[in-house]
Chains A and B, each alone.
Chain A
Amino acid sequence: MALLEVKNLKQHFITKKGFMGKKTIVKAVDGVDITIDVGQTLGIVGESGCGKSSLARSILRLAEPTSGSIKFNGEEVIGMNSNHMKMLRREMQIVFQDPYASLNPRNTVRQILEAPLIIHSLGDRKERRDLIESLINKIGLRTEQLDSYPHEFSGGQRQRIGLARALALNPKLIIADEPVSALDVSVQSQVLNLMLDLQQDMNLSYMFISHDLSVVQHISDKVAVMYLGKIVEIANVEKLYNNPMHPYTQTLLSAVPIADPMLKRERIILQGDLPSPSNPPTGCSFHTRCPIATKECSEIEPVLEEKLTDHFAACIYV
């Protein structure tokens, strides 16, 4: 059953240069459709600047979406009044990328974990204390560490504290915005495995955003590839990694190192930089860097179509 259903979501930012400057519209998210089922993980991959984080923030309405529909448990989130929205926030939470910026440096871990409970007036003093203690144990830290400040922890520990804060309200969905990108590789797998364990225990759904394809492969059931605010390919993790259809996905995957020196593979190297989302190319937005682009690509805007069973891609040559 679909827990989260996003349809044609758009997030446009208007920026103005200077006092009388010209307005430019940045289409950070430009018509995204995704669904996440209960207990499932949807991975979102793409280069930095492709709109992954904006997508996360607009689903949570941390930035107000421009248009589209977000249904959580069948309820429309966009336009929901603030009381209702506050209730809904107990159901979906976020974990951030930077373990140093995501925790208030002036609060102890106890205060950080208690905040969600106070905001939603949950439990009395004792119940809150018990809950906080069980939370901190769940993420593998000790009760004595509750009265320490964030700077006394390592990056991986802080990230787990951030996870504990997100879990405090017992949510159904956690949106993780590059949760392990700032961590050492050895620590990354600890945090990923913790997330997988918690998913089992608490029947969580994840939307897992990353630019690292192997991390996404490890944790996801389904993967969506984003380019300039749009989804260009979406499929089950096996299908997508074994049979990438969109040329962009193919280039991304060709850059992933493989732990087998015997296996030879052609590497496709992306030409040029990511175009500015305020001035995206016409037609297929990838055509400026696509190895197989033709004249048609700059004219026809491809739509996301089911090319194989449960395997969607947006390219006129697939």
Chain B
Amino acid sequence: MVRRITSSPLTLIGLVIVLIIIVCALFAPLIATHSPTEVNLQSKLEAPSTSHYFGTDEVGRDIFSRIVYGTRISLRIGLLVVLIAFPIGTILGAIAGYFGGGVDQIIMRITDVFLSFPGIILAMSIAAALGPSIENVMLALAATWWPWYTRIVRSSVLSIKNAEFIEASRALGANPFRILFKEIIPNSIGPATIQASLDLGFVILAAAGLSFIGLGAQPPSPEWGAMLSNSREILRDAWWAATFPGLAILLTVLGFNLVGDGLNDVLDPKQR
């Protein structure tokens, strides 16, 4: 399996990108050349150079160092949101699919309601209601994201719930709880896991978008979306302030996408 993943050059690129981001997050103080928040008016709006790889912003903060520290914020958002949304969605989807009937109806109608909003809009209104902060953006995104997993898991549960090994388990006298967690869920979370790896990127993208409109990270936090928002004021004088944080977002989303696609190719027998 490992060889199959690494045999695709695109997946390999994705893995490398993700690895770089993780390294940046773990060793930010070692990699960053400056403090991410220290104001230095002497060196404001400097173009990229050997002392400031990505230039400086309007108060002289080093953009490279801010982007490096920003990986911590973005990774944390991506991981936490998926870690909240994935189990909730998975368990609800498994319950809906396995038990069927009224429970299924109720759960699925609720997901229908959530999915009838374009994701970013729902997250925006929840975050706006809770008040602007990173934590609230994470809550809002988790609240928007779980129904996707519910749908995916439910449909894979439906495809296996009448499998003979499930019946065997019932014939042995296993209770529904055991059947759900030992037999059904392990055999039906594959597609949802692939989705989750793609979502790590998409959550980061959405969080950056919300920060961009002022809902998430607040300045002077080195969050990429907030940095982009800030760069609008100095767009005319400092192209670098707008270019590099966006590039960081693009590469991060791309990295998780490539890894997710690679996983999909490996796990989906149809594509083999």
Binds B, one of A15-23, A70-78, A93-101, A256-264: A93-101
Please judge, given known A-B contacts A119-B174, A119-B178, whether A105 and B187 are in contact too, CB under 8 Å. Answer: yes
A101/B173 in contact, CB under 8 A: no
- Does B58 touch A at the CB level, under 8 Å? no
A106 to chain B: closest residue by CB? B186
Within 8 A of B (CB), among A242-270: none
Within 8 A of B (CB), among A85-142: 85-86, 89-90, 93-94, 96-98, 101-106, 115-116, 119-120
- Does A169 touch B at the CB level, under 8 Å? yes
* 1/0 contact string of B46-60 vs chain A (CB within 8 Å): 000000000000000
Q: How distant is B266 from chain A, measured CB to nearest CB, in Å?
A: 16
B166 to chain A: closest residue by CB? A104
Q: How distant is B179 from chain A, measured CB to nearest CB, in Å?
A: 10
A85 to chain B: closest residue by CB? B173
- Does A162 touch B at the CB level, under 8 Å? yes
Within 8 A of A (CB), among B159-186: 163-165, 167-174, 178, 182-183, 186
Please judge, given known A-B contacts A102-B165, A103-B165, whether A93 and B183 are in contact too, CB under 8 Å. Answer: no
CA A105 – CA B267 in complex, angstroms? 14
A97/B174 in contact, CB under 8 A: no
Task: Tell which of B164, B172, B173, B178 touches A96, judged by Cβ atoms closer than 8 Å.
Answer: B164
B178 contacts across to A, CB distance below 8 A: 119
Residue from A104, A105, A115, A165 having most chain B Cβ neighbours under 10 A: A104
Task: Tell which of B163, B171, B183, B187 touches A60, judged by Cβ atoms closer than 8 Å.
Answer: B171
B168/A162 in contact, CB under 8 A: yes
B183 contacts across to A, CB distance below 8 A: 104
Please judge, given known A-B contacts A106-B187, A119-B178, whether A62 and B173 are in contact too, CB under 8 Å. Answer: no
Please judge, given known A-B contacts A104-B183, A104-B187, whether A94 and B171 are in contact too, CB under 8 Å. Answer: yes
B172/A115 in contact, CB under 8 A: yes
Please judge, given known A-B contacts A101-B163, A104-B187, whether A94 and B168 are in contact too, CB under 8 Å. Answer: yes
* 1/0 contact string of A56-82 vs chain B (CB within 8 Å): 010010100000000000000000000
Please judge, given known A-B contacts A105-B187, A115-B174, A119-B178, whether A96 and B167 are in contact too, CB under 8 Å. Answer: yes
A165 contacts across to B, CB distance below 8 A: 168, 172
A97/B186 in contact, CB under 8 A: no
Task: Tell which of B164, B182, B187 touches A102, judged by Cβ atoms closer than 8 Å.
Answer: B164
Q: How many pairs of A and B residues are in contact by the CB < 8 Å rule?
A: 54
B164 contacts across to A, CB distance below 8 A: 96-98, 101-102
B167 contacts across to A, CB distance below 8 A: 57, 62, 94, 96
B163 contacts across to A, CB distance below 8 A: 101-102
Q: How many residues of A contact B (CB 8 A)?
A: 25
CA A98 – CA B167 in complex, angstroms? 12
Please judge, given known A-B contacts A62-B167, A101-B164, A104-B165, whether A120 and B173 are in contact too, CB under 8 Å. Answer: yes
A115/B169 in contact, CB under 8 A: yes
A104 contacts across to B, CB distance below 8 A: 165, 169, 183, 186-187
A100 to chain B: closest residue by CB? B164
CA A238 – CA B169 in complex, angstroms? 36
B168 to chain A: closest residue by CB? A102
Q: How distant is B109 from chain A, measured CB to nearest CB, in Å?
A: 14
* 1/0 contact string of B24-62 vs chain A (CB within 8 Å): 000000000000000000000000000000000000000
B173 contacts across to A, CB distance below 8 A: 85-86, 89-90, 116, 119-120
Q: How distant is A77 from chain B, measured CB to nearest CB, in Å?
A: 13
B174 contacts across to A, CB distance below 8 A: 115, 119
A96 contacts across to B, CB distance below 8 A: 164, 167-168
B170/A62 in contact, CB under 8 A: yes
CA A165 – CA B171 in complex, angstroms? 11
Task: Tell which of A93, A98, A101, A105 touches B172, judged by Cβ atoms closer than 8 Å.
Answer: A93
B171/A93 in contact, CB under 8 A: yes
Within 8 A of B (CB), among A202-238: none
User: What 5 A-B pairs are tightest by C-beta distance, nearest first?
Assistant: A102-B164, A89-B173, A86-B173, A96-B164, A101-B164
Apart from the given pairs A96-B168, A102-B165, 10 other A-B contacts in the complex at a CB distance below 8 Å: A57-B167, A89-B171, A101-B163, A104-B187, A115-B169, A115-B172, A119-B173, A119-B174, A120-B172, A162-B168
18 pairs, A vs B, C-beta closer than 8 Å: A62-B167, A62-B171, A85-B173, A86-B173, A94-B167, A94-B171, A101-B163, A101-B165, A102-B165, A102-B168, A104-B165, A104-B169, A104-B186, A105-B187, A119-B178, A120-B173, A162-B168, A165-B172
List B residues at the A interface (Cβ < 8 Å).
163-165, 167-174, 178, 182-183, 186-187
